[in-house]
Amino acid sequence: MHITYLKKLWDKAKHSAFSDLCGFKGKLYCCFREAVNHVSEDGIIRVLQLNTDGDILGSQHLSLAQADLRDPKLSVTPDGKLLLIAYARQHDGNTKHLFSQCLCWSSADGLSWSSATNFAEKNWWLWRITWYQGQAFGLAYNRGKQTLNLYQGDPRRTFNVHSPAVFSLARQHKGYPNESDIVFVDDVAYALVRRDADSYSAQLGRSSFPYKRWDWQDLACYIGGPVMILNDKHSTYVAGRIEYQGKLRTALMSLNLNTAKLDLVLVLPSAGDNSYPGLVKQGNSLFMSYYSSHQDNKSQIYLAKIELE
């Protein structure tokens, strides 16, 4: 396995971060947040249309008055639209945070976008959605409640709690579950969840239809901003931020869904403020977007093409 190319995609903003990647109608689409810094209140979303050589074919941005738009994610809906979700931290125009709300936009071509639609509950951060059998599933977290709720539906229409508290400090006695991703294999859901308390160890959850009862396994390592993509029915590729040689780096791993064995595949050039990758698999190639501050001490967006064994 080797990196075919690694390109810097975007460095025009003071701080570009929190990327995702999606394949749509023969093109790649990369979204990310542009702002003054990691926690500023001026976040907008940039969407780039790319070819598979990593060349930029088009660019659009989305913004919302008095809101910091964070952690955008892309997916393709069952009716063939490109869907963008993000978390909007609404403020009073100064520094006072009012509330937070999940938003979504849709597009037929990846360049022209609908107006924003609210979905899910206020102050519950729906991190990423996965479409399965015509429905979108996603885990939302609330830091104060130390809980993950599973949502189901269509963010453009109705999107409600399907199963509350699938993982929580109260039930599992492990604190602050947050960022997550879900894959499905033959009606079995597998969830990978980051945690930022006590041991900081990521969790692998399994649940069979109708996804009301979940079993969890500790992966004994930290994974930030996790994203998964199926390799086959028994394994996934996982990308995220890990601790490697005493530093936080962006890495690609493989995860055996049956044994929960996690193996390191590649550590991408990365340092400082980094990670939050997106993954697209096409044939024997894996495309991976991420952000990093290893060049010029500035957070910038990168795209890697990786040839798989």
Report the pLDDT averaged over residues 183-188: 98
**pLDDT at residue number 294:** 96
Edge-to-edge strand list for the sheet holding 215-218: 177-185, 188-195, 203-208, 215-218
Domain ranges of the chain: 2-307
pLDDT surpassing 90 at residue 247: yes
Q: Classify 169 as helix, strand or coil.
A: helix
Record the tokens describing residue 267, joined without a space.
């550590």
For the residues of 95-142, what is the DSSP string, one character each?
S-EEEEEEEEEEESSSSS-PPPEEES-TT-EEEEEEEETTEEEEEEEE
Give buried/exposed letters for 69-86 (b at 16+ CB in 10 A, else e).
Answer: bbbbbbbebeeebbbbbb
Each residue of 141-160: pLDDT tens digit?
A: 999 999 999 999 999 999 99
Residue 246 burial (CB count, 10 A): 6
Each residue of 291-305: pLDDT tens digit?
A: 999 999 999 999 999
Share above pLDDT 90 across residues of the chain, in percent, rounded to a whole number: 96
Confidence of residue 2 (pLDDT cuts 50, 70, 90): very high
User: Which one of 3.90.1150.10, 2.120.10.10, 3.40.720.10, 1.10.357.140 gives the CATH number of domain 2-307?
Assistant: 2.120.10.10
pTM: 0.96
Each residue of 275-286: pLDDT tens digit?
A: 999 999 999 999
Looking at residue 189, its amino acid is: A
Report the pLDDT averaged over residues 244-256: 97
**pLDDT at residue number 237:** 98
pLDDT surpassing 80 at residue 250: yes
Confidence of residue 14 (pLDDT cuts 50, 70, 90): very high
pLDDT surpassing 90 at residue 258: yes
Burial of 18 (0-12, 13-18, 19+ CB in 10 A): buried
**pLDDT at residue number 164:** 98
**pLDDT at residue number 253:** 98
pLDDT surpassing 80 at residue 218: yes
Report the pLDDT averaged over residues 192-203: 98
**pLDDT at residue number 11:** 95
